[in-house]
Structure 1
């Protein structure tokens, strides 16, 4: 069972300033996992060119096949990590799960930095991926349960901000090291730096509270009340949330078992909706751009070092977009933001395809192609990514929230792996018409969001659970009536 100083305190109602400072600190600690996630997924684009060098020159002698394995092994590990951590966080708590994942971040980063052979590198990248995937499913849920209804959207969206900030740091580190260091092993230094956020996450988990929602679900109502008093500005907020959580806990205890709940059609519909959103997120092709922007730009005649440096633009735009997204999720519904983002993404991909297919290969083509990529990334990271992670923290019932979030996020990582692994051969076979294919897929995603995604803005987690049960239950009864 989780325990720390928060569980032993009996504080009076905290002041507004102390609440904001404490929430900021808790979110900062939790999102160290997101920072590590972003750095680990971003640094590989800068490290790969040096890892492909022969062993006598300091590399690992990667060929195209092993290059794909090294890149995708982290993603397949992330799929497993997201799935397993969901169950662990329901069983042992969000905070203990994050602490365990922090150790994996450190071990995985150290292992990749010291890996003497390709096989060991693949194993260590897989281990690192388990930590990345586990963090990706646990961090949003933990923040959502800590934040409360009013602040949930902007605080959970900081998860995405830290992911893209980690990627930006990775791009800057890659560019600076490639220009300034003349060391055949510099890729090892790039990978070793991933230990820093893992260490900070591990230390930080000893100074943050357990999730009050998880505590109530475990029957530790007094502990949850103590935690909630330190995280809310007004007593009425504490009373309202405690009342909702206790009511939800009573319904869960009186209702079906976890095994029976997972068989209910409304829960299965939510799982399919969550999995569908993972498809929407990854088949925008976002990680094809994040992992392979240097390759795309080199097809326009841009040099290797310039192509790597250009990825810094990706990172800067993504960070600015994530900041805009934090403001957007507080003001607009989830569905409008997703549909707006997908519409612009489709237009940007069509424009990129036209630039690469129909324009002559020169600097103008390079700049226009980069511009299309940056427009794509801005609306992707402002309207689609933050809303996805927010929905993953909201959609599922408390009793199985960790497990179902982990399952849905795991499927998202599988989609990520498919895109990352398939993009280079698809680009080789279909050429630059590949971007028209992504645009067609995203038209299908836009239709899915319009028809299947519920709106969750402005509701507490308990209200969302009740609304989902009623919505999908009514649809099932209507379908049964039509069949009869």
Structure 2
């Protein structure tokens, strides 16, 4: 009889269904950028600041005492809020991931939060019926709140139902769905598809469409066996769920692993976010988890997306928007490469290769930007560095932090750890989005040297502090940190003993 390593149809449906939430997250991330000018015009009309058909940019070139400048500032304020409110919603709701996941289970939790996504889609899709700026900002806030929850619930559910042999590949599908969502939003956001004056509300409203499909499919998905056994103590239901997910096999080893984990969890009180922060037992795992997420957001990947259109323009690309879509395609292709490699090469190896490669690309980009006016071909060096930077990001630093948190922690502290890591990710994303224009203005063409230094530091951290989790049970991964903690404790005691002896 098989050992439960095979990929069954039910497991495929469950992972696909969960990943629809990630697709929606990616779509919501990318959809707001393409129709920016169109949306700004509608904001101006809604605010009563648009008396003619002239473009917003024409108003902004008038003298300082012209009312057009005030109009432009008001519209820019509402536009900035439309973009930023998404991250704020995610930052707030990421703290609730553990509560929602434990309240009714992982599957029902994802089903419950879909109400938010549909509501957000309707607010944005019907925004022309009232004041577009208020409707869009409200919809983006609700969608951000939804995405903060789903960016935690999806990796948690997939991590708990995936067989050990395929846990990395299936976990990487969360990031793959995100980048596919971003690519879809870039393509259908083109002016001649939906990113135009008439269709842009539909473009934004489609953000909620995956939630409808997911709501139809979720009742077909088995609940997480780990949730059923360890949190609810329902061994028989966990056994049925394992059979549905893995087919005909003997689930005794899996149930035995869960039983030991449950015994460990029962020895200590439920791990809240506050107790996890102050716990010495989980300190090393938490530090690694947060640093992995910081390495993803502080790598400069968002800065690359902000800067790419400008670099492509300088390189003589007549339609830089298509080059940006090309970056989206590279994003998707190399995330698929990561799916294929992560369970062979390992999480640690791919993250090291990715961060190291990005560091080299950041240096190359700086050289290209510095000399692009002296040598015309240097623009192409910068452009190549962008594509390679994105490729290295998606091989490791992009997908791995999302699912490795679920691997680093046992069932008890896992929801709180995912919530904290998610909040760290959203917060650092928001800070980079707000701070990058100022850093860019200050450092000019040398801005990517800053990211090169950060990437080098993160590479060293991963090399010295992050263990390989490929092919290990949750129990074995916890034992690695337990062993490290004891070694550190013994070293500290030896140092103290030596100091007292010397004295």
The match for 1:265 is 280
2:193 matches 1:187: no
What does 1:50-69 align with in structure 2 at a 5 Å threshold? 50-53=38-41, 54-55=44-45, 56=50, 63-69=75-81
The match for 1:36 is 24
- Are the counterparts in 2 of residues 341 and 382 from structure 1 also a CA contact under 8 Å? yes
Distance in 2 of aligned mates of 1:25 and 1:204: 8
The match for 1:105 is 117
Distance in 2 of aligned mates of 1:83 and 1:181: 34
Distance in 1 of aligned mates of 2:157 and 2:194: 40
Residue 47 of structure 1, CA deviation:
2.4
Q: Which moved more, 1:30-39 or 1:253-262?
A: 253-262
Aligned pair partner of 2:11 in 23, 42, 45 = 23
CA gap 1:479/1:261 in 2 versus in 1, 3 angstroms: farther
- Are the counterparts in 2 of residues 39 and 194 from structure 1 also a CA contact under 8 Å? yes
CA gap 1:278/1:231 in 2 versus in 1, 3 angstroms: same
Residue 157 of structure 1, CA deviation:
1.0
Distance in 2 of aligned mates of 1:191 and 1:362: 41
Residue 435 of structure 1, CA deviation:
1.4
Q: How many pairs does the alignment contain?
A: 467
- Are the counterparts in 1 of residues 222 and 245 from structure 2 also a CA contact under 8 Å? no
The 3-state SS of whatever aligns with 2:399 is: helix
- C-alpha offsets along residues 21-58 of structure 1, whole Å, 9 cap, x if unaligned? 11111100000001001111011221223222332569
Aligned pair partner of 1:427 in 440, 447, 459 = 440
CA gap 1:296/1:406 in 2 versus in 1, 3 angstroms: farther
Higher Cα radius of gyration: 2
What does 1:113-152 align with in structure 2 at a 5 Å threshold? 113-115=125-127, 116-152=131-167
Aligned pair partner of 1:230 in 244, 249, 252 = 244
Residue 353 of structure 1, CA deviation:
1.7
The 3-state SS of whatever aligns with 1:384 is: coil
Task: Point out which structure has higher relative CO (alpha carbons under 8 A, 6+ apart).
Answer: 1
Residue 290 of structure 1, CA deviation:
3.3
The match for 2:33 is 45
CA gap 1:430/1:199 in 2 versus in 1, 3 angstroms: same
| Structure 2 unpaired stretches of 5+ | 57-70, 498-503
Aligned pair partner of 1:81 in 93, 97, 108 = 93
Distance in 1 of aligned mates of 2:357 and 2:300: 13
CA gap 1:280/1:97 in 2 versus in 1, 3 angstroms: same
Aligned pair partner of 2:387 in 374, 382, 387 = 374
TM-score (norm 1): 0.89
The match for 2:424 is 411
The 3-state SS of whatever aligns with 1:235 is: coil
What does 1:430-445 align with in structure 2 at a 5 Å threshold? 430-445=443-458
Residue 296 of structure 1, CA deviation:
4.7
- Are the counterparts in 2 of residues 356 and 365 from structure 1 also a CA contact under 8 Å? yes
Residue 295 of structure 1, CA deviation:
4.4
The 3-state SS of whatever aligns with 2:145 is: helix
What does 1:175-324 align with in structure 2 at a 5 Å threshold? 175=190, 178-180=191-193, 183-217=196-230, 218-233=232-247, 235-236=249-250, 238-258=251-271, 262=276, 263-291=278-306, 293-298=308-313, 306-324=319-337
CA gap 1:219/1:455 in 2 versus in 1, 3 angstroms: same
